[in-house]
A = this chain, B = another copy of it.
């Protein structure tokens, strides 16, 4: 068994040994949802003060308002009753280090993990690669305040999102652990 699998199962045995959350209902108790990045340095339960049962958490590369995030948000509200949503991107995000062309080019040469230095991304090795990278929009980020605002606007203007849901836009600072408001996003996410 892999070391990681062994460690995860060991941690899970400890967690479940004194488990006292069996009676939590399915709908989030505090009725809100966070959309944020998959980045390993972010723990939304810790940075936003969540206990099990409190809130939905949606995460993807960048914390972007993709079709899949919209699918999840609509289910979160329509079927499970959340009433406020957060979009939280973060400083030093990997999504700022490349663009669609760089990713497509890297994947076409090799699927293996690439390395990065001051001159950019470099593939470790030749092949096997795939040209399929061009069929994915990688949704990279140039400016965090802009990406948060764009994503809040996209969510607020979606035809399946009721107009009375406030959407708050924040950037998580990985150096300080602080949530920093993006005023343009919060303004766009306001209930009219």
Contacts and interface: CB of A to CB of B under 8 A. Distances in A.
Interface string A9-30: 1111111100101101011111
A60 B32 contact: no
A179 to B, nearest CB: 5
Interface in A106-126: 106-107, 111-114, 116, 121
A187 to B, nearest CB: 14
Contact of A40 (B55, B176, B179): B55
Interface of A: 2, 4-5, 7-16, 19, 21-22, 24, 26-33, 38-43, 45-50, 52-61, 66-72, 74-81, 84, 86, 92, 94-95, 97-98, 103, 106-107, 111-114, 116, 121, 130, 132-133, 136-139, 159-162, 166, 168, 174-179
